[in-house]
Structure 1
Amino acid sequence: MIEVLTTGPQNTVQDLGRSLYRNIGVAISGAMDGLALRVGNRLLGNPDGLAALEVQTFPLRVRFGADTAIALTGADGQAQLDDQPLLPWWAVTVKAGQTLSISYPRSGARVYLCVAGGIDVPELMGSRSTSLRGGFGGFEGRVLQAGDVLATGATAALPLPAGGLGVRPPVQAMAEVFASDPDGTVLLRAIPAGEYGLFERDQQRFWRQPWKISAQSNRTGYRLSGEPIVPHTTMEMRSYGLVPGVVQVPPGGEPIIQLSDANTAGGYPKIAGVIDADLWRLGQAAIGSRIRFVEAGPQEAIAAEQAIEAYLEDVQRLRAMF
């Protein structure tokens, strides 16, 4: 059992999402940084898809009602267990009555609090993720509030070494695969999409210029600020299916990247699609930070996916040692 003592306004229960119901208008939802969730669960010996807390507004304070084990992944939230600092990307055992505090991150945007056995909320359409727009899933279909009490799964915590167990963050462990500019601009690989040809005059500027993540961004999509790009001709489009990563260009010319709570259909021209392997980086890109698109193809996307799987296998092997 986990009791929520203090929470920001947008913290929710998330797993890896529900992907089989987009044909009836149900968004995928799920963790914005699915890689962090998977690593946290593997550090605890959980299946990858067990539900955890996605913390994106701070501070968060929770109290544990029973002995268990937890893992903190994603952003470095300057966490403390009672008065003792906890490292990010680390798993530790906790005792009944202990309090965990997570503060505004030193880096990154979202912290994932995974627990042995996962957060035990009802499964709906194959997932325990919260759909805020639909008002279902997660904990009563809403954001967490002070006083909420969350049940945890019955799976017993696997033993951890004294002092806990941690891994190198993926941005360090896979630095050669997931690069950033020296000024901190996040580089996102994207593949040209269906209406790319409509932007012939502005294609190079789309790739070349840095884009700023605007304040009008959320789990549905990141709106980007920069010099607008416009199609060379106006066309009326029928709505088409959307998935996370699609980069649309509304009439104002500033792109929108669809994310975890993406609409299931839309009609703006799509200029590109961010590869799946890079979406976790967007989940850790805070409002106001800068990104730049890098033109890629299927082979780069496959290589990035393979690097992630190799990293996760390393985490699995490390956990199996204890």
Structure 2
Amino acid sequence: MSAPFLEVLATPALNSVQDLGRPGQRRWGIGPTGMVDALALQVGNALLGNAPDAAGLELQLFPVRLRVLRDGAIALTGADCDARLDGRPVPPWWALPVRAGQVLELSPPGATRRDLAAPALRACLSVAGGIDVPEVLGSRATHVRCAFGGLEGRALRAGDVLDAGAAQAPAFRDPAGFGALPPATALPLGDDPEATTVRVIPAAEYPAFTDASHAAFWNDPWRVTIQSDRMGMRLEGTTPLKRAVVQEMRSHGIVCGVVQVPPGGHPIIQLNDGNTAGGYPKMGVVIDPDLWRLAQLPPRRLLRFQRCDLAQARAAALEQEDYLAGLRRLSALSLMTPEAA
């Protein structure tokens, strides 16, 4: 049975309850929503022994202050936000026990770490048992645009109280907790330290683009613009992408990760809150195992596309699952059963 676990003391706009989203609803014009960095949520849930799709908090704007209302456990993954629990540092990618009355504070990523060349963008807070809010269309994810899911269909605000599903706090073998090897280290990709690399499968309209556009798409870096959010990521580059023959297209279904090219020639990548249909030509689609890399790109960061085929995409998915399986084994060794505790 769930019970109150966290009180929101302070938060900017846009932070929300998210899980892995609500697939299967596109036929109604409803996108998946869910945690943009789905891998960060899965890591947090693996460390705490939760189900992979247990809901957590997606934190995009800072500072954030939360009060713990009862003993339990949390995991912080995603961006390094210089987290402090009652003033004591909490490492990133870390699970630990918490006690009633403690206060967790998170700062903007990179605000106190000048050694971070490219601070990540979003943090994920997972809790033992998962954040417990009503399911809507099979998911607890917040759909802010449609005002349903999550906590009353809206972003978090000061004074909110969030329930968690675990009635009994898990026991840690080490009271300091334990951590995970971050995905950026465990699943490296690309050799350009100034840019993030993602793998892309060419899409239906790829052959319609010019040879020069093909070369620019794969070889040139693309910069993330400030006009990027949970709906999509707008990019700008030195060579606009052009089709050899420009033809009008009917709107058709699109999915998260699709790289569309509007008339200006600068790509837009659809993300979790993006449209379910669109008429811009598609250059490619970012493979699912690399969507978490997009989720952590701040404005002005450079992005490179690496060509990929279906077999390579499947191999990447298996590599990611092996990584998560290793974390579940780590959790089994680091958390004690109620009997052992």
- TM-score normalised to the size of structure 1? 0.97
Structure 1 partner of 2:178: 165
Confirm or deny that 1:8 pairs with 2:18: no
Q: Which amino acid aligns with 1:168?
A: L
Tell me the secondary structure at the aligned position of residue 314 of structure 1. Answer: helix
Shift of 1:157: 2.8
Confirm or deny that 1:216 pairs with 2:227: yes
Confirm or deny that 1:17 pairs with 2:27: no
Which moved further from structure 2: 149-158 or 215-224? 149-158
Contact 1:212-1:291 within 8 A present in 2 as well? yes
Contact 1:91-1:164 within 8 A present in 2 as well? yes
Alignment size in residue pairs:
319
Contact 1:116-1:155 within 8 A present in 2 as well? no
1:190 to 190, 200, 214: 200
Tell me the secondary structure at the aligned position of residue 124 of structure 2. Answer: strand
Confirm or deny that 1:294 pairs with 2:276: no
1:278-310 CA-to-partner distances (Å, cap 9, x unmatched) read: 000001111211101111111211111111011
Confirm or deny that 1:102 pairs with 2:113: no
The separation in 2 between residues aligned to 1:206 and 1:260, in whole angstroms, is 23
Shift of 1:260: 0.8
Which moved further from structure 2: 150-159 or 221-230? 150-159
Contact 1:89-1:169 within 8 A present in 2 as well? yes
| Structure 2 residue ranges without an equivalent (≥5) | 111-118, 335-341
The separation in 1 between residues aligned to 2:59 and 2:251, in whole angstroms, is 33
Q: What pairs with 1:144-159 in structure 2 (closer than 5 Å)?
A: 144-159=156-171
Structure 2 partner of 1:276: 288
Confirm or deny that 1:41 pairs with 2:45: yes
Which moved further from structure 2: 85-94 or 200-209? 200-209
Contact 2:59-2:124 within 8 A present in 1 as well? yes
Q: Which amino acid aligns with 1:118?
A: G
Tell me the secondary structure at the aligned position of residue 71 of structure 1. Answer: strand
Contact 2:223-2:301 within 8 A present in 1 as well? yes
Shift of 1:59: 0.6
Structure 1 partner of 2:113: none
Shift of 1:156: 2.5
Q: Which amino acid aligns with 2:193?
A: P
1:314 to 314, 321, 326: 326
The separation in 2 between residues aligned to 1:95 and 1:234, in whole angstroms, is 61
The separation in 1 between residues aligned to 2:108 and 2:231, in whole angstroms, is 22
Q: Which amino acid aligns with 2:180?
A: V
Tell me the secondary structure at the aligned position of residue 286 of structure 1. Answer: coil
Tell me the secondary structure at the aligned position of residue 3 of structure 1. Answer: strand
1:116-155 CA-to-partner distances (Å, cap 9, x unmatched) read: 1111111000100011111111111111111111111134
Structure 1 partner of 2:215: 204
Structure 1 partner of 2:139: 127
- TM-score normalised to the size of structure 2? 0.92
Which moved further from structure 2: 67-76 or 159-168? 159-168
Q: Which amino acid aligns with 1:198?
A: A
The separation in 1 between residues aligned to 2:124 and 2:144, in whole angstroms, is 18
Q: Which amino acid aligns with 1:212?
A: R
Shift of 1:276: 0.6
Contact 1:117-1:156 within 8 A present in 2 as well? no
Identity of aligned residues (%): 51
Confirm or deny that 1:81 pairs with 2:93: no
Shift of 1:207: 1.0
Tell me the secondary structure at the aligned position of residue 279 of structure 1. Answer: helix
1:30 to 29, 34, 39: 34
The separation in 1 between residues aligned to 2:168 and 2:26, in whole angstroms, is 35
The separation in 2 between residues aligned to 1:179 and 1:149, in whole angstroms, is 42
Tell me the secondary structure at the aligned position of residue 199 of structure 2. Answer: strand
Which moved further from structure 2: 79-88 or 192-201? 192-201
Shift of 1:23: 0.5
- RMSD over aligned CA atoms reads 1.0
Q: Which amino acid aligns with 1:158?
A: P
Q: Which amino acid aligns with 1:294?
A: Q
Contact 2:81-2:106 within 8 A present in 1 as well? yes
What stretches of structure 1 move > 4 A for 4+ residues in a row? none
Shift of 1:180: 4.6
Structure 2 partner of 1:62: 66
2:269 to 248, 257, 262: 257
Tell me the secondary structure at the aligned position of residue 36 of structure 2. Answer: coil
Structure 1 partner of 2:316: 304
The separation in 1 between residues aligned to 2:76 and 2:193, in whole angstroms, is 27
Q: Which amino acid aligns with 2:56?
A: A
Tell me the secondary structure at the aligned position of residue 127 of structure 1. Answer: coil
Tell me the secondary structure at the aligned position of residue 157 of structure 2. Answer: coil
